[in-house]
Amino acid sequence: MKYALVTGGSRGIGRAICLKLAKMGFSVLVNYQSNKVAAEETKNLIEANGGTAELLLFDVADGAAVEKVLSEWQAAHADDYIAVLVNNAGIRKDNLMFWMSDSEWSNVLDTSLNGSFYTTRTLVKYMMNKKFGRVINIVSISGINGMAGQTNYAAAKAGVIGMTKALALETAKKKVTINAVAPGFIETDMTKDLNQDELKKIVPAQRFGKAEEVADLVGFLASENASYITGQVITISGGL
């Protein structure tokens, strides 16, 4: 079996990625933290389309929990390993910096940056031993260009970008690629509070993207066809 883990896979971009990878033949591990109903919906959608899926409950920001759950999974699947990891879990707590609380800062970094570190550290050793692996980090154009009101989110995603580039140098010889996908404005629950009509005006494509479009890019990076692409940050932003 070819396994793929998608953190924050219950909704939005994460769900679209789960469905895409399942169509590609991966058995998908759908990680979630609290919304079991949404995670089960993702699992049911995969199975309705002939795929296989399993739910994995853990908080990516809890390093001990990540290590425990993934190590237990590996022990129960001694002949298999997770060949594709998509670090998608992330949260927004937007605020201007001079009003930003310690928790608004630390919670965002704990989920996006530390969470990506914990999951990748746990799984990349198996990929390197097998001499094949894909780590795809979902970042944001906010981590490249910055965005007012998102110093925490931008810092977290910029940190993941740096981690992506450095880790790619460590794993390339073992045929493990590490890349990042940086979406712009995508229609999801995370962006539903944004003024889409106004923001469309600054996007050259004049629209928000779809989660499925992000998933198609992730699917390519997870494939054999992307074996010579590593350490890259690919934007999908309608030209923004």
- Give catalytic residue positions: 153
Phi, psi (5° rounding) for residue 59?
Answer: -90, 115
Of the candidates 218, 157, 208, 164, the one whose C-alpha atom is nearest the C-alpha of residue 187 is 208
Residue 201 identity: K
- Give the chain's length: 240
**C-beta of residue 136 within 8 angstroms of C-beta of residue 215:** no
Say which DSSP state 26 is in.
Answer: P
CA distance 214 to 21: 12
Residues 6+ apart with CB under 8 A from 101: 95
Residues 6+ apart with CB under 8 A from 163: 113, 116, 117, 120, 137
CA 40 to chain centre: 19
